[in-house]
Chain A
Amino acid sequence: MTWKTKSTAAPDSTTILRGLVSNKRVALGSQVYNRILETLYDEAAALDERRIDDWIAMIAQDIIYQAPIRLTRTGPNRDRDVMRTMFHFDEDYGSLLMRTGRLQKSAWAEDPPSRCRRFITNVRIAECETPGEYEVVSYLYLERSRGDSPENENTTAERRDVWREVDGGYKLASREIIVDQSVLGMSNFAVFL
């Protein structure tokens, strides 16, 4: 990724949401669709059950994992609101390992751990140009219970993934998490989305 700084005020075409880009759709209910959907459910379960090594095993070593910030815009640039110059997460494989390694020791933000439910819906899949890679767009609804608070923290997001077929399974090769809040209601992202 080359880097060019853009001012906060400047509108630019990289800030459009996009969604599913490829038009080679994988039909809902097809074998590939079902297996990828199953993988998404397995991934959510690994994270919810805090089997963090199982989650790392589902990730490709060249992963790009980012959560751009959202901005409220009006007028002709109202749809250019995904700021891909600033992130809540900006990760590669090494930094994800650093984060998960930290969780094993004194990461007070997750000790005691959050009790999370990741609800994955609205899954749409298409073939990428690279054979064996699939563009997977899903909605995430995260409910997070902390300590003795009876009020859950929650957030919603769209995830734009690439899953790669490896040894009969699928590995996560990239994820862009597009959160819906411009000001997060959650006090940190100490959990993965």
Chain B
Amino acid sequence: MCMTRINYKKMHYRENAQMLQKSKLVLRDGTSLDDLVMRESNEVSLRVMTDEELYHLEMEKIFAKTWLLLGHESEIPEPGDFIVRDMAEDNVIVARSQDGEVNVSLNVCPHRGMRVCLGEAGNKRIHQCIYHGWAFRPNGDFIGAPVEREKMHGNDVDKKTLGLKKAKVHLYGGLIFATWNVDGPSFDEYLGDIKYYMDQLFCRTDNGLELLGPPQRFTLPCNWKVPGEQSGSDGFHTLTLHRSLMEGGVMGGTAESIYDQAPGMYGVDVSCKQGHSLRCLEAEKTFKMFADVPFEGKSTRERLELLTPPGITKEMIPELFRNLSEDQVNQLATIPPQVGGLFPNILIAFIFAPRTDGGSSGALALHTYVPKGPGKVEFVNYIFAEKDAPEQMKRDMLQNSVQQTGTSGTIEQDDADVWPVIMKNARGAVSKGITLKYQALHGHERPEGWVGEGLLYPGFTKDDTQWNWWLAYYDLMDAV
């Protein structure tokens, strides 16, 4: 217990760790947020996965408040292009208007609540509700209702107020983010210190990323936080749940030496108080095929030539220097960010993905875990390549991502098998009192010569980043 306390103080981002204020959030049965997310002992009650009341509070306090990922602007290049996506259980139209802007508006007709847009994608100058015919522009503005002279919307209401409800939009590296919290934190405030590292993945080339096709979508019978907390950079599960990566010779080690060699476990985990995180890993210590590459004493450019980051070609190396700082490129060349997540529901996998044919063009994938009720989550898998990558490389990268991530991915089909079982356990009268434990904590420590900001956890991957994910959860749930 004593050890836990010391670790706790060491890792907690708040300076005044001993004076924890009690949360004002209390559920109807008297359970407090502090009984669910236990900041003194670094535990979380399994009950958080099934509680209906908590779920509805999460929808209001998290999903109606924070920034959410909806897609990529390469999906809607032309004016009038639109896609329909979900901000938790709120369905939205993401459309490019005549002025080239990307707009996000609620797909709910303000007249009688019907969905205005019934398709998932297309091009329309006017979105007309099929129920009573109210019509809207791609930016959500109300155009009018049929039989204009009869004013179906009444005489007293200004047409300007009858548009679709609009969300605030921000494009980051072409990724489309939106929030209902129009007066809330800016996107940069939301990203915080993790931006320096995210830029190395999303803002590193002249023409940026493109989505290779519409996302894979499938549903899992579990709460969104089951995959959510794992997206807080759970490194340790790889060794056991994903041991087939070692058995198949992708990562270092063999079936017999997995726990001795622990490939992919040592690196620097980076995080921030907003709950985001990334695992930065040296390729030569992670993947078998790079183990013998002579990196010792090489310059940044030489290292990039020897082992280009996932998704990048040798021809694109000068672009890295143009778009990133020298320190950022240096990190990309030595210990690049590879997996991680953005709070609340985004997983990032920008991985080397060695192929059976000996190549390694990488796999770039983002997932969102979209809540669909307390016991259901939709897994949306976005697969990317650099726009300037050669066609064959895009083809290879699509195949890598499909074979390793998402629906049939040999890595993630094992995750999809675990999560629903945890969910089943969370229902038992006794089981729901069991706690998830985040007590293996390293504590923030700046490695020598490290340039980026944020909370830093060098060495063997521990629970720090995932615990920060829960603290970010606590902060939003606790907010009035």
Contacts and interface: CB of A to CB of B under 8 A. Distances in A.
Contacts of A87: 213, 398, 402
B416 A187 contact: yes
Of the candidates A85, A89, A97, A106, the one having the most CB atoms from chain B within 10 angstroms of its own CB is A106
Contact of A187 (B120, B122, B218): B218
Contacts of A4: 391
A105 B247 contact: yes
Contacts of B82: 9
A193 B77 CA distance: 34
Given A9-B78, A184-B407, A69 B213 contact: yes
B244 A69 contact: no
Given A9-B75, A73-B120, A89 B408 contact: yes
Nearest to A104: B247
Contact of A185 (B71, B219, B387, B402): B219
Given A74-B122, A184-B219, A90 B244 contact: no
B188 interface: no
A67 to B, nearest CB: 8
Nearest to A90: B402
Interface in A1-43: 1-11
Contacts of B241: 108
Nearest to B211: A8
Contacts, number: 168
A87 B399 CA distance: 9
B349 interface: no
Contact of A102 (B248, B392, B417, B418): B248
A182 B120 contact: yes
A183 B219 CA distance: 7
Nearest to A2: B391
Contacts of A8: 71, 75-76, 83, 121, 211, 213-214
Contacts of B81: 7, 9-10
A105 B258 CA distance: 14
Contact of B403 (A9, A78, A95, A183): A95
A107 B410 contact: yes
Nearest 9 A-B pairs (CB), nearest first? A86-B213, A85-B213, A9-B81, A184-B218, A8-B75, A74-B119, A189-B408, A109-B413, A188-B413
Interface of A: 1-11, 67, 69, 71-75, 77-78, 83, 85-91, 94-95, 97-99, 101-102, 105-109, 147, 182-190
Given A89-B407, A94-B356, A105-B243, 12 more contacts: A5-B210, A10-B81, A72-B118, A77-B122, A86-B215, A88-B216, A88-B402, A109-B414, A109-B417, A147-B421, A183-B217, A184-B217
